[in-house]
Amino acid sequence: MKQVFLQSQQFSNPPTPPTGPTGFKSVPNSPLPAALGPPSARAAATASDHFAAADVGNLIGNIAELDSLLGVRANPLARERRDSGMDSPTLLRYSPQAGGIEAAPQDCTGECQLGENNGSCGGIRRGTKFRWSSFARSHRPSIQVREMQIAAMSIAQMQVLKNAAFLELNKVMQEFCPPNKSLLSWFLPKFLRRAKPPIPPSKTAVFGVPLTTVQMRCGQPLPPCIVHMMRQLRQSGVSAHGIFRRTGGKARVSSLKAEIDAQPDMRDFSQCQPYDLADLVKMYLRELPECLVTTKLSPTLMDLFTFVPSDQLRLLALQCAMLLLPDENREVLQSLLYFLKDFAENADTTQMNASNLAVCLAPSLFYFPHETPTGSGLSPRRFRRATGVPDPRDLQDHKAATACVTFMITHCHQLFTVSEELYRQAAFSAVELAEPPALDSLAPVDASQRRHCFAFVDNHAQMVGRECSEGAAKWTPFSSRCGVETFCKKLDDKCPLRLWKAVMNVEADPTRILNRIVQDKASWDPDVLNSELVEMIDDNSDVTRFTLTSPPAQPAREQCVLRAWRSAGSHSHCLYTASVRLPPTPLTLPTLILNEDWLIEACGPGNSRVTLLSRVDLRGHSLEWYNRTWGHSIARQLVHLNKSFAD
C-alpha cells in the first residue's frame, strides 16, 4: 500500500509584542495593594491541600477525520521500518514498586451546561480535591520512564506521536492481518441503519453520560462519585471472593444507581456491599454512549489478538493504540487497568486473576460488530445473542477481547508509555519538547545581584492591552454559561495552542480579587492542591510552585511560574504569569504556561470585570482535547473565583 507522507508542521516561539502604551504601570516598585501585605507575610502564607459515534455513512466526515488525524507532519517513521527493529522492539520494563523520583472549537450541548446549584459547574466543589494515594504508592513510574509517559508529552509531541502511532499500527495490521483489516478501512463509507438517538441524560445524571461531557463538567473524565466508589471498592473488594464475577443485590444496585444520578456529589460508600459497587462500576462502563475502547479501535485490538502471534508486537501495537484513543478514554482506561491490576495481585484471596477479571469486564469495554442490538435508542454495545447456534465470529471476537483485556491488565504499567523505538525515531526538536524557559531568561540578575523582570512585565502588559482592546470580530465565541463569556483565537506564531479569553463580572472590588488570586488560589481553585513560594523578587513579583490535581492513575502535575502584578490606581490591576524552569519536585510532571494573564477592572461599586487570557499546555493531551475542553476549564475557574466571595 502506498505510504502516506505528511507535511511537516513546526511552530516557533511567540514573537515579542510591539512596544506601545498600555495604560498600566510596569515599574516594579509600584505599590502593592494594602490587602496583599508585606513580603514576609506572603512568604509565610501557603495555601492548604485539594472520549456517540459519527454517522459512518458520511464519507465527507470520515475524510475530514482522516485529515485531522494524519495532517500533522512528516515523521521519520514514514521511512521503511527495519525488519530487525520490528521483530525485536526494545521494551520498557520497570517494576510498579520501583523507588526514586519518578479541530475547531465547539460548544457543548445543553446536557453539559455548567450548572450553578448542583455542583456541576466545577464538578468537584471547593474543598473536595482528590489524592488517590494508592496509585501514588502502587503505580508510581520510575524516574527512568517518567519522560516516556504519554502524560508527559507536550501538545506538539502528541501531534507527532499520534501520526507515527497510526502508521506503525497500520504496518503491523498489514503484515499479519487479512487485507481488509487495514486501519484505512476506518475511513471507508459503511452503510448501516441509522439508530434512534438516545434520550439525553439529565443535567445531574452520572450513568450514560459521555466522557467528554464529564470532562467539561468536572475537569476530569471520571465523575467524582465513581472515583470515590472505586476507592472504596479497592479498600473493601480486594478481599471479596469472586469480586466482579458474583453479582450484587439487584434492588440495592438499582436503588444506589438512582441515588447517584440524583446526587452526583455522593462520596460515602462505606456502608455498601463490594459486590454492589463492582456491579455499578461495570454498569457505568457498559452504559457509556460509546464503549471505552471505542467503536473504531475495538475490531483492531481484537484482530491483534487473533492474528498477531508475538507478545512483543502486541505490546508495541497496544502502545500505539493508546495514543490513538481520545484523551478522556485513555485516562479512564488507564485508571481502570491499574485498578484491576490491584485485584489481580490479590487473586489468592479473591480467586479473580487477570484472566477472570477480563472475562467479566471485556463485554463492557469493547464493541462487538457481529452481535445484534436489542431495541432502539440503546447503546451500540448492549446486545442480545442471536437465537440458535452462536455466530463463530462472535465467539472469536469475545475470545480475542478477553485475551486483550488480560494482556492489558498484566502489562498496564507499560501500555501508557511511548516505546523507545517510536520516541527515538520521532527525533523531537527542542521546540516540540516545549521546555519552560529558565528563570534567568525572564528575570535576569543585574550587576547588583538583584533579579528584575522589567522586559517580562512590558511584553505581557502590551499583549494584555492589545488583546483586551481588540473587537469581538477578531475572537471566535465559544460559550456563554454561568455568566462567563468565553472566546478563542488562533495566533500567527504557528503554535497549535489557541489563545483563550474568559470574561466575567465578579462581586468584589479589584484589590480583593487580586489579593484572592495572588495569595489564596489553592483555597478556591479546585485544580490546585497547594502552593509554595519559591522566591520573592520584589514587592510585586515572585516565583511560585503550584501542585495541581490529576485524574486517578495520572502523575501529579506542577506549575512553576513567574508572577508579576501591577496597578493603574486602585481601580485596575493586572497579574502576569508564565512558566519558568526549576528543579522538578519528586513524583510530578511540569506543565507549560505560555501565558495566564488577568485584567481586573472596577465596573461599579463592589463589582469588577475580570478578564482571563490563558494559553496552557498541561501535557499528555491532544489539540482536539484543548479545543473541546479548555474554554470550559477557564470558565469553571472564574465561576469558582466568584463563588469564593459569596461564601
Q: Which three cell numbers stand for residue 281?
A: 462500576
Q: Which three cell numbers stand for residue 504?
A: 466575567
**Residues 204-245: tens digit of each pLDDT:** 789 999 999 999 988 899 999 999 999 999 999 988 999 999
pLDDT at 553: 85
* Of 588, 531, 530, 529, nearest in space to 556 by CA: 588
pTM over 0.95: no
Residues of the chain with pLDDT under 70: 1-146, 182, 184-201, 371-389, 647
Residues near 226 by beta carbon (within 8 Å), at least 6 away in sequence: 206, 281, 284
* Of 152, 158, 160, nearest in space to 619 by CA: 152
* Of 131, 122, 130, nearest in space to 219 by CA: 122
For residue 477, list its beta bridge partners. Answer: 487
In whole angstroms, give the CA distance from residue 150 to residue 161.
9
- The separation between CA 57 and the C-alpha centre of its own chain, rounded to angstroms, equals 30
Q: Which three cell numbers stand for residue 110?
A: 445543553
* Of 498, 487, 485, 482, nearest in space to 639 by CA: 482
pLDDT at 129: 57
Residue 300: Cβ within 10 Å count: 23
CB 267 within 8 A of CB 225: yes
* Of 379, 68, 335, 381, nearest in space to 220 by CA: 335
**φ and ψ of 417, to 5 deg:** -120, 160
CB 50 within 8 A of CB 127: yes
pLDDT at 184: 62
Q: State the burial class of residue 206 (Cβ atoms within 10 Å of its Cβ: 0-12, 13-18, 19+).
A: buried
Query: Angle between the 327-344 and 392-410 helix axes, to the nearest 10 degrees?
Result: 80
In whole angstroms, give the CA distance from residue 53 to residue 119.
28
* Of 13, 14, 24, nearest in space to 462 by CA: 24
Domains of the chain by start residue, with CATH: 134-188+202-369+392-430 (1.10.555.10), 439-644 (3.30.530.20)
pLDDT at 470: 82
CB 486 within 8 A of CB 625: no
Q: Give the DSSP H/E element, type plus range, for residue 486.
A: strand 484-489
* Of 106, 19, 24, 10, nearest in space to 599 by CA: 24
pLDDT at 198: 56
**Residues 514-525: tens digit of each pLDDT:** 999 999 999 999
CB 229 within 8 A of CB 130: no
Q: Give the DSSP H/E element, type plus range, for residue 276.
A: helix 274-286
**Residues 325-367: tens digit of each pLDDT:** 999 999 999 999 999 999 999 999 999 999 999 999 999 999 9
Looking at this protein, which amino acid is placed at residue 310? S
